[in-house]
Chains A and B, each alone.
Chain A
Amino acid sequence: GENVEQHPSTLSVQEGDSAVIKCTYSDSASNYFPWYKQELGKRPQLIIDIRSNVGEKKDQRIAVTLNKTAKHFSLHITETQPEDSAVYFCAAHGEGTYKYIFGTGTRLKVLA
């Protein structure tokens, strides 16, 4: 079946450094790729998303890139801050199936 692989599972960076999380999806019909941030004990919240007709999207310190040929998409966080510490999930949504397939999550720790 369809799956989304997410790496790394944990990531520690120094405050001010950049963080990159990568996902690979299997279903070539996927056309919507959201990223969620989940703080400890809280619900997931959308931080950025990208659709298959766009290669890159940026929102302040956060950017997402999509390579449809390679079926890769990545989250980039620049100038990391302690409040960026959380678990991040990528997901892929398929046109026609209407399902969401999530990655297994990346625990990001930003060290002050």
Chain B
Amino acid sequence: EAQVTQNPRYLITVTGKKLTVTCSQNMNHEYMSWYRQDPGLGLRQIYYSMNVEVTDKGDVPEGYKVSRKEKRNFPLILESPSPNQTSLYFCASSLYPTSGDAGEQFFGPGTRLTVL
């Protein structure tokens, strides 16, 4: 089954404790992205990746890191989480051929993160 998976789905942690949220897709998509969703603010892009070893900042990258060592995986790293990073996080992926147009983004199930 074609899908985007995220783990964990729920996480409660404390300020300053490093954490990683994993994201994996099995559709051979070039483009992967992380979003955070907060009430009244919609979805805001944190980082995106056009392909392996190619990543770039979205609108709200502060406090986050990403890596793209393999095409299927795009982990989100919070080196020192703070309470203002409490949010619902979505990973997404899409086809994006080098000389083509963006394709439909498929979203993962979401990770609800609480930082105390």
* Interface, chain A (partner B; CB < 8 A): 1, 6, 31-32, 34, 43-46, 49, 51, 89, 91, 93, 98-105
Question: Pick the contact of A43 from B42, B101, B109 — CB < 8 Å?
Answer: B109
Measured CB to CB, the closest approach of chain A to B8, in angstroms, equals 16
Question: Pick the contact of B58 from A43, A91, A99 — CB < 8 Å?
Answer: A99
Please tell me if B107 contacts chain A, counting CB pairs below 8 Å: yes
* Interface, chain B (partner A; CB < 8 A): 31, 33, 35, 40-45, 48, 50, 56, 58-59, 90, 96, 101-102, 104-105, 107-110
- B104 A101 Cβ-Cβ under 8 A: no
Other than the known A43-B107, A44-B43, A102-B35, what 14 A-B pairs have Cβ atoms closer than 8 Å?
A32-B101, A43-B108, A43-B109, A45-B107, A51-B101, A98-B102, A99-B45, A99-B48, A100-B33, A100-B43, A100-B45, A100-B58, A102-B45, A104-B41
Measured CB to CB, the closest approach of chain B to A8, in angstroms, equals 13
- B40 A1 Cβ-Cβ under 8 A: no
Measured CB to CB, the closest approach of chain B to A40, in angstroms, equals 12
- B50 A44 Cβ-Cβ under 8 A: no
Nearest neighbor of A93 in chain B, beta-carbon distance: B102
* Bound Cα distance from A31 to B101, whole angstroms: 9
- A104 B42 Cβ-Cβ under 8 A: yes
- B48 A98 Cβ-Cβ under 8 A: yes
Measured CB to CB, the closest approach of chain A to B34, in angstroms, equals 11
A-B contact pairs, 14 of them (CB 8 A): A6-B42, A31-B101, A32-B101, A32-B102, A43-B90, A43-B110, A46-B104, A98-B48, A98-B50, A98-B96, A98-B102, A100-B33, A104-B42, A105-B42
Q: A32-B102, A43-B107 are in contact. Are A98 and B42 (CB under 8 A)?
A: no
Q: A98-B48, A99-B58, A100-B45 are in contact. Are A49 and B104 (CB under 8 A)?
A: yes
